[in-house]
Amino acid sequence: MACLNLPIHVRYAPQNIYLAGIIPGPREPSLDELNRVLTPLVDELLMLWTRGLYLTRTALRWMGRFVRVAMIPLVCDLPALRKAAGFAGHSAKNFCSFCRLQKADITNLDRETWPKQRTWEEHLRLATEWRDGDADTRKNIFEKHGLRWSELLRLPYWDPTRFAVIDTMHNLFLG
């Protein structure tokens, strides 16, 4: 993780990067495995958001400063983004993170006829129902809406419909 408040020339210096975790191979983790890896990170982010942190001194404030920390964008390749944010895969019936367009209508380029955009409230409600439901409920929610629970949804400010971003390399350069 990188602090986006830092100037660009020091933002990605090794001493300014927080390595939240490494997921070992040789295969991609399941959603449950990924959520177990995310749990300690989300616990820390929750503490940094709710209680905050007092920095005893900064470059501009020698008496210190109280700060809150939030993880806003989730930037990764499409398969990782879909899993980490609780969405179905990009080849699923509900393939879009932003709207409810079905895979059968993927050739429809007329935005005026697309279903309305997903909302954070709806996403959180359905994902919570998925988390708390039995196997049949989970299957029905996933098939109908393409949503599952993600540990990131415990962050009270984190909106997967707005904060999930496909990284530039995979989106533009690799197609």
Q: What is the pLDDT of residues 81-122, one digit of tens each?
A: 888 999 998 788 888 777 788 888 888 888 888 888 889 999
Where is average pLDDT lowest: 72-76, 146-150, 160-164, 166-170? 166-170
Nearest to 150 by CA among 45, 54, 67, 34: 34
Q: Looking at residues 138-148, what average pLDDT do you find?
A: 94
- 134 pLDDT band (50/70/90 cuts)? very high
Domain boundaries along the sequence of the chain: 14-22+31-166
The answer to whether the CB of 42 falls within 8 A of the CB of 36 is no
The predicted structure's pLDDT at residue 80: 84
Lowest mean pLDDT among 57-61, 74-78, 166-170: 166-170
Residue 146 has pLDDT above 70, yes or no: yes
Q: How far apart are CA 112 and CA 96, in angstroms?
A: 16
Q: What single-letter amino acid sits at 78?
A: L
